[in-house]
């Protein structure tokens, strides 16, 4: 093996939640990013860990072969294999971890372990490999909500964090109350475009510093819907667009308000949003306006790199390869970091 290439060919595997994804990065470019989505979880209104693991097991070979074919590369060309070590669902992570370790062992190639959250940030570098550091990054996914001060590729400080639910979780749980399918974030986004965002107003719990709390907001919506349903038949279905627009507007404004507070006390050159919720159209627009007003560089991943994908794992692995930061074959998946 020759772990000293400037532009290695990396095959990366992501299996932290309910998407099985395989990507190929070669000569600094993503040549394939193939994802098998697991629609079965829609039946249960959320991800069922056991089913996620079984479906990763079922999908991983086809997804891997699909990515290799799309990238038009042979296995001999691969310089390293990368995988998501965590955080995520342990059983789901184990499938990707074991699969990647087997490839690295059988082919005698280096193995690269990637932190899923660092990879969400690395999604920014796929189309912008030389960003202006430091920048403030809002990481908003189904499992995490953090404000990060990003000083270098792997040098972050957590400036703020959610004390309970993540922003994506808030979208999904409120969506469930509104009888929307899982994951509700993209559906709320679509319906919100047809509604009035000022139709209903909500409040959010005050939390110290730059942290977030969504649980009070969620409970408030639950009681609000109970009350309205008691007065008006079919309240939810009659008002679904206005409800989606008002909920989304509230979440976006709350995220924005904490980021504005955080950038006041940290000198930065840029702003970024990453993670599944960064696919939200209102959040993307709000950040564009904020960056223009504050004269900051704005970075948002292309839509396909916002939600879970292996391209971001490959991109993070690329920087680890440069540092020869390889994992031992005894490494294990880690649900929490």
Rounded to an integer, what distance in angstroms lies between the CA atom of residue 326 and that of residue 183? 35
- 307 binds, options ligand KG4, Zn ion, none, Cβ within 5 to 8 A by partner type: ligand KG4
Q: Is 145 in the site for Zn ion (CB under 5 A)?
A: no
- 110 binds, options ligand KG4, Zn ion, none, Cβ within 5 to 8 A by partner type: none
Rule CB under 6 A: choose which of 47, 279, 296, 299 binds ligand KG4: 279
Q: Is 186 in the site for ligand KG4 (CB under 6 A)?
A: yes
Rounded to the nearest whole angstrom, what is the least distance from the CB of residue 307 to ligand KG4 in the complex? 3
Residue with tokens 């159209």: 281
Percent of residues in the chain assigned helix, strand, coil, to nearest 5 = 45, 20, 35
Chain length of the chain: 337
Number of residues interacting with Zn ion: please give it, by CB under 5 A. Answer: 2
Rule CB under 5 A: choose which of 15, 59, 115, 141 binds Zn ion: 141
Whether the CB-CB separation of 275 and 306 falls below 8 Å is answered with: yes
Three-state secondary structure call for residue 69:
helix
Rule CB under 6 A: choose which of 14, 165, 242, 308 binds ligand KG4: 308
Rounded to the nearest whole angstrom, what is the least distance from the CB of residue 4 to Zn ion in the complex? 31
Q: Is 189 in the site for ligand KG4 (CB under 6 A)?
A: yes
Rounded to an integer, what distance in angstroms lies between the CA atom of residue 12 and that of residue 9? 10
Q: Is 275 in the site for ligand KG4 (CB under 6 A)?
A: yes
**Could you give the residue ranges of the DSSP H alpha helices within the chain?**
49-71, 90-107, 116-127, 167-177, 185-192, 215-231, 235-238, 240-264, 281-294, 311-322
Q: Is 143 in the site for ligand KG4 (CB under 6 A)?
A: yes
Q: Is 162 in the site for ligand KG4 (CB under 6 A)?
A: no
Rounded to an integer, what distance in angstroms lies between the CA atom of residue 244 and that of residue 265? 33
Indicate the residue among 239 and 280 with the shorter CB distance to ligand KG4: 280
Rounded to the nearest whole angstrom, what is the least distance from the CB of residue 183 to ligand KG4 in the complex? 4
Rounded to the nearest whole angstrom, what is the least distance from the CB of residue 277 to ligand KG4 in the complex? 4
Three-state secondary structure call for residue 273:
strand
Q: Measuring CA to CA, which residue among 32, 23, 35, 21 is closest to residue 95?
A: 21
Indicate the residue among 169 and 308 with the shorter CB distance to Zn ion: 308
Rounded to the nearest whole angstrom, what is the least distance from the CB of residue 276 to Zn ion in the complex? 6
Tokens of 69: 């074919």
Rounded to an integer, what distance in angstroms lies between the CA atom of residue 325 and that of residue 110? 9
Rule CB under 6 A: choose which of 71, 93, 255, 277 binds ligand KG4: 277
Q: Which residues bind Zn ion (CB under 5 A)?
A: 141, 308
Q: Which residues bind ligand KG4 (CB under 6 A)?
A: 17, 141-143, 168, 171-172, 183-186, 189, 275-277, 279-280, 307-308
């Amino acid at each position: 093996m020759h772990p000293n290439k400037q532009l290695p060919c990396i095959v990366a595997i992501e299996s932290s939640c309910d998407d099985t994804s395989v990507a190929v990065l070669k000569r600094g470019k993503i040549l394939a990013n193939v994802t098998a989505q697991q629609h079965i979880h829609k039946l249960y209104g959320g991800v069922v860990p056991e089913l996620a693991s079984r479906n990763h097991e079922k999908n991983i070979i086809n997804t891997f072969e699909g990515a290799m074919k799309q990238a038009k590369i042979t296995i001999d060309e691969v310089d390293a294999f990368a995988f998501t070590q965590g955080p995520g669902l342990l059983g789901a992570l184990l499938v990707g971890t074991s699969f990647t370790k087997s490839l690295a062992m059988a082919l005698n190639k280096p193995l690269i372990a990637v932190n899923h959250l660092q990879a969400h940030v690395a999604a920014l570098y796929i189309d912008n490999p030389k960003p202006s550091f430091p920048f403030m990054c809002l990481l908003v996914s189904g499992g995490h909500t953090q404000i990060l001060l990003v000083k270098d590729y792997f040098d972050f400080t957590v400036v703020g964090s959610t004390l309970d639910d993540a922003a994506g979780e808030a979208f999904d749980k409120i969506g469930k109350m509104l009888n929307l399918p899982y994951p509700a974030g993209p559906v709320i986004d679509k319906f919100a475009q047809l509604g009035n965002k000022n139709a209903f107003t909500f409040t959010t719990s005050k939390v110290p510093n730059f942290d977030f709390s969504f649980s009070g907001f969620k409970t408030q919506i639950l009681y609000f819907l109970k009350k309205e349903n008691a007065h008006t038949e079919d309240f939810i279905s009659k008002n679904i667009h206005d409800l989606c627009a008002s909920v989304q507007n509230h979440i976006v404004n709350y995220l924005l308000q904490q980021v504005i507070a955080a950038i006041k006390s940290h000198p930065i050159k840029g702003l970024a949003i990453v993670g599944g919720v960064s696919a939200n159209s209102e959040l993307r627009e709000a950040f564009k306006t904020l960056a223009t007003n504050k004269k900051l560089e704005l970075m948002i991943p292309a839509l396909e790199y916002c939600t879970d994908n292996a391209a971001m794992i490959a991109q993070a692995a690329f920087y680890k390869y440069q540092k020869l930061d390889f994992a031992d074959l005894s490494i294990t998946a880690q649900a929490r970091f």
